[in-house]
Homo-oligomer: A and B are copies of this chain.
Amino acid sequence: MNNITPTILITNDDGITAPGIKALVDAMSGLGNIVVVAPDSPQSGMGHAITIGEPLRLNKVNNLFEGIEAWQCSGTPVDCVKLAREKILKRKPDLCVSGINHGSNHSINIIYSGTMSAAMEAAIEGIPSIGFSLLDYKYDADFTLSKIIATQMAGLVLNEALPPHALFNVNIPNIKPEQCKGVRICRQAHAKWEESFDHRTDPSGKDYYWMVGKFVNLDDGTETDVEALQENYVSVVPVQFDLTHHALRKELSQKWTNIFDLKNHKL
What are the residues of chain B within 8 A of A185 when measuring CB–CB? 249, 252-253, 256-257
Interface string of A82-107 (1 = CB under 8 A from B): 11011100000000000000000000
Q: Is A177 interfacial (CB-CB < 8 Å)? A: yes
Tell whether, in the assembled complex, residue A117 and residue B47 are in contact, meaning their CB atoms are under 8 Å apart.
Answer: yes
A139 within 8 A of B: no
Q: Provide the main secondary structure of the chain A interface.
A: mixed
Question: In the complex, A192→B123 CA distance in Å?
Answer: 10
Nearest Cβ in chain B — how far from A127, in angstroms?
A: 11
B-side contacts of A247, CB under 8 Å: 163
Stretch at the interface among A2-10, A61-69, A233-241: A233-241
Q: Which residues of B contact A57 (CB under 8 A)?
A: 206-209
Interface residues of A in 218-267 (CB under 8 A from B): 234, 236-249, 252-253, 256-265, 267
Q: Is the CB of A241 within 8 A of B111?
A: yes
CB-contact partner of A200 in B46, B55, B207, B245, under 8 A: B55
Closest B residue to A57 by beta carbon equals B208
In the complex, chain B residues whose CB is within 8 Å of the CB of A260: 149, 152, 182-183, 234
- On chain B, the residues within 8 Å of A50 by CB distance are 45, 47, 112, 211
Assess whether B265 is in contact with A252, with CB atoms less than 8 Å apart: no
**Cβ of A236 to closest chain B Cβ, rounded Å:** 7
Which of B26, B47, B261 is close to A46, meaning CB atoms less than 8 Å apart? B47
- Whether A177 lies near B263 (C-beta < 8 A) is yes
Chain B residues lying within 8 Å of A211, measured Cβ to Cβ, are 50-52, 56, 79, 82
Whether the pair A195, B82 counts as a contact (CB closer than 8 A) is yes
Nearest B residue (CB) for A208? B55
Cβ-defined contact, A262 with B148, below 8 A? yes
By the criterion CB–CB under 8 Å, are B257 and A209 in contact?
no
Cα A184 to Cα B259 in complex, Å, equals: 11
Chain B neighbourhood of A134, CB < 8 A: none
B242 touches A190 (CB 8 A): yes
The residue that A239 contacts in the complex, of B192, B245, B257, with Cβ under 8 A, is B245
A178-190: CB near B (< 8 Å → 1, else 0) gives 1010111111101
Q: Which residues of B contact A78 (CB under 8 A)?
A: 47, 112
How far apart are the CA atoms of A85 and B213 in the complex, in Å?
Answer: 13
Q: Is the CB of A244 within 8 A of B87?
A: no
User: Which 9 residue pairs spanning A and B have beta carbons closest together?
Assistant: A47-B48, A238-B248, A238-B245, A55-B208, A240-B245, A47-B47, A45-B52, A187-B244, A49-B49
